[in-house]
Amino acid sequence: MNIPIVPREVLFGNPTNTAPRLSPDGTRLSFLAPLDGVLNVWVRPLEGGEAKPVTRDTDRGIRSYFWAPNARQILYVQDKGGDENWRLYAVDAATFETRDLTPFENVQARIVDVDKRRPNEILVALNRRRAESHDVYRLQLADGRLDLIVENPGSHAGWIADHQQRVLVATAMNPEGGADLLYRETESALWRTLLHWNEEDENTSGPVGFTADGKGLYLIDARGSDTSRLVRLDIASGKIEELASDPEADVSNVILHPDTRELQMVSFEKARTEWRVVDEKIRAHVEKLKAMSDGDFFMINRDHADRRWIVGFVKDDGAVPYYVFDKETGGTTFLFDNYPQLKDYRLAKMEPVSFRSRDGLHIRAYATFPPGAERKNLPVVLNVHGGPWARDSWGWDAEAQWLANRGYVCMQVNYRGSTGYGKSFMKAANREWGGKMHDDLVDAVEWAKKEGWADPNRIAIYGGSYGGYAALVGATFTPDLFSCSVAIVGPSNLLTFIRSIPPYWSIYLKQFHAKVGNPDTEEAFLRERSPLFKVDRIKIPMLIAQGANDPRVKQAESEQIVAAMKEKGIDHEYLLFPDEGHGFAKPANRLKFYGACERFLAKHLGGRAET
C-alpha cells in the first residue's frame, strides 16, 4: 500500500465538534468539543457568535447530555472510572454553576421522562433503595428535590409516562419467562397486565409511548410475526392496529411528533438504514434533506416550536456533517463535521456482504477493504461485535478504517443472535455461546477464503465484550484457524461471568440462563463453553485488554486466563487500564491500546504500523 497512514490520533482521538443540540427556545446551539483535551459541553448563539464551555470536566469527558425543558440548564450523566454508576448533573447555561443532582455512592441514575409541558422537573430512576432495582423519582430541577413516585417491586424493567408525566405503563420481567406490559389508570391504582410477550417475542418488543389522548399506546410488537412491527394498542379494547412492518427487518427507530404524538417516521435497519415517512406534512422536508447527502440521514433534536431541526448524515468513508434545517424557510445551515481532518486522507468503503451458514442461515456482514489493494490473499481481521444482542451497522467505523488503512480487510459479521433480523434469528443463538454462534464466525472466514481475498495464513480474530469472548473462543476452540487473537473485556469463564453480573442485571438473570446457561444447574455445560478451561489448546499469540472498573465483565475474567497462559508459557500481552470500565473512554487510553494492538497485528499479520 502506498496511501498515507491515517494517524491514530485522527481516528481515535477526540472529535473536533460533535453532538449538536438546539436549546428548547431555539436560540442557542450546544455541542461537545475538547477543553484542555477533555470533551465538554459548549454553547453559542444559534445565529453565530462566540462559543463558551459551560462544563469543566477534567477526567473522562462528557459523552451524553441534553437540554432541560426549561431552556436554562443542561443535564449530563457521568460515572467514575467506568464503574457505570451514572450520576446526573445540571449546569446553568448562563452562570456555568454545576450541581450533582444524584449525589449518592454506588447508585445509578437513568432518565425516564423529559417533557416540555413540565419544564422544571424530570423523571429519573435510581437504584438507591435496593441495588437490584430502580425506583422512579420526580426530580425538581430548581432545588434538586427527589420525590419517590414509583416503588419497584423488583420486576419492573422500564416505564412510560403520559402527557401529564404520570407513570402509567411499566414493563415487568415475568418470573415464568418473557415480559408483561403493565398499565394503571391512575398513579394510585393497581397495575394490571395489558399483554404478555413470551421469551421469543420479548427480545424484540416493547412500548414506545402514549398517543396524544392517552387512550392508546405505540408498541413495537413481535407477536404473530417473525420481525417486530410498529402497532397502536387501544388500551380499553386491547385492539391492535399495525402501522409499519417489514418482512426482513425489525422496527429500528420511531419518531413521534412531540406535541400531537402522531407517527412521523419509522426506520428499518437492513444493509443500510431505511426511513419510511408516515406524516405527509414532513415528507417533502425529509426528501429534501435526504437528497443533500449520499449518507444515511438522521434527526438529532428539534426546538419546542418544531421550527428548526438538527440533522446529520452517517457516512462510511468520512466525517458526519451536521446541519440546522429551518422548516419555515426550507433552508439548511451547515454547522460542522465531527472529524474534519478526515478529509485529508483516503478512506475505505464499507461493503455489505452475505453468505449462508453451515446450517442454512442467511448471515449478513460488512467488509472494509484496504483502499487500492488487489483483493487477493489479503490479511483479514475478523472484528466481532459485542452484545451479543446488538449488531454491526453500515456507516463510519473508526476501527474498520484503521484496520483497512493498515492493510487488513476488516470483516464484521452479524452472527446469529444479532439484533434487527427477527426473533427466529435471535432464538437460533440460544445456548450457542461458543457453539453455533462461533460456527457462524468460522463460516465467515471459510467463505472469505473461497472468495479468494483472504490469506488463510494471516487471519486474526478481534473483539470487545462478547466479541472479546469470541476472540478467546477463537484461540481455544479453533486454534488452527487464526494467526493471533485480540480480546478486549471478554469473559473467559461463563460460570464466574454470570455469577458476577451487576446487581441491577439480576432482573434479567432468567434471560441469561435461557440464552447462555445456568451456572447452578449446568456447570459442566458452561465449563465446556468457557475458554478458560481450554487454555492448553492455544497455539497463537494473544493480546488481552481490560478495564479495572468494568462492572459487566469483571477484571477477574481477564486475570484468570492471563494467569493460566502465564503458567503454561503461552505468548501473550496484557493491558490493564486502572481508570477504565467496559471499554476505553479516555483518549489517552484509547491511543495506548490501539498503538499496542497495531504493533501486535503488524508483527503477526504483516500489516502497517504508525511510527
Q: Return the C-alpha cell found at 488.
A: 478486549
Catalytic member of 133, 465, 483, 558? 465
Mean pLDDT confidence for 384-391: 97
Identified catalytic residue from 134, 156, 304, 582? 582
d(CA 101, CA 80): 15
Check: CB of residue 244 under 8 Å from CB of residue 229: yes
550 is catalytic: yes
Q: Is the pLDDT of residue 504 over 80?
A: yes
573/140 Cα distance (integer angstroms):
49
pLDDT value at 288 more than 90? yes
Domains along the sequence of the chain with CATH:
17-151 (2.120.10.30), 346-605 (3.40.50.1820)
501: its cell numbers: 453480573
Q: According to the model, what pLDDT value does residue 48 have?
A: 87
Closest among 561, 571, 575, 574 to 603, alpha carbons compared: 571
- Taking each helix axis from N to C end, the angle separating 436-451 and 466-477, rounded to the nearest 10 degrees, works out to 70
Instruction: Give percent of the chain above pLDDT 90.
Output: 99
C-alpha cell at 211: 398517543
Contacts of 81 (CB under 8 A, 6+ apart): 60, 548, 549, 578, 579, 580, 581
372: left (phi over 0), alpha (psi -120 to 50) or beta: left
Mean pLDDT of the region 226-246: 97
pLDDT tens across 101-121, in order? 999 999 999 999 999 999 999
Q: What average pLDDT does the segment 44-60 reach?
A: 95
pLDDT digits (tens, 9 = 90+) for 310-351: 999 999 999 999 999 999 999 999 999 999 999 999 999 999
Whether the pLDDT of residue 49 is over 80: the answer is: yes
Active site residue 465: yes
Distance (Å, rounded) from C-alpha 263 to C-alpha 256? 5
99: helix, coil or strand?
A: strand
CB of 501 within 8 A of CB of 491? no
Taking a C-beta distance cutoff of 8 angstroms, is the pair 77, 86 a contact? yes
Instruction: Write the DSSP string, 195-210.
Output: EEE-HHHHTT-EEEEE
Is it the case that residue 377 has pLDDT exceeding 90?
yes
pLDDT-derived band of residue 443, with 50, 70 and 90 as boundaries? very high
Q: What is the pLDDT of residue 532?
A: 98
Helix or strand run (H / E) with residue 88: strand 87-92
Q: Write down the pLDDT at residue 611.
A: 85
Distance CA 110, CA 87 (A): 9
**Does residue 1 surpass a pLDDT of 80?**
no
Judged against a pLDDT cut of 90, whether residue 573 lies above it is answered with yes
What was the pLDDT predicted at 514? 94
Give the C-alpha separation, 385 to 415, whole Å: 9
| pLDDT at 335 (0 to 100) | 97
Task: Please tell me the predicted confidence (pLDDT) of residue 230.
Answer: 98
Which own/partner contact pairs does 89-96 have at CB distance under 8 Å and 24+ positions apart? 90/141, 90/144, 91/41, 91/54, 91/55, 92/54, 93/23, 93/28, 93/30, 93/43, 93/54, 96/54, 96/55, 96/56
pLDDT for residue 53 = 98
| DSSP secondary structure letters along 350-363 | EEEEEEE-TTS-EE
Q: How high does pLDDT run on average in the chain? A: 97
Q: How far is the CA of 243 from the CAs of 63, 287, 299, 549, in angstroms?
A: 34, 21, 21, 44
Q: Which helix (H) or strand (E) holds 424?
A: helix 423-427
- Encode burial over 511-534: b for 16+ CB neighbours within 10 A, e otherwise: bbbebbbebeebeebbbebbbbbb
pLDDT of residue 447: 98
CA distance 109 to 214: 27
Instruction: Kindly give the pairing relationship between strand 378-384 and strand 409-414.
Output: parallel
Task: Give me the DSSP letters along 20-59.
Answer: EEE-TTSSEEEEEEEETTEEEEEEEETTS---EE-----S
Check 530, 550, 558, 604 and give the catalytic one. Answer: 550
| 206 touches 180 (CB < 8 A) | no
Q: Which residue from 151, 192, 190, 158 is spatially nearest to 172, judged by alpha carbons?
A: 158
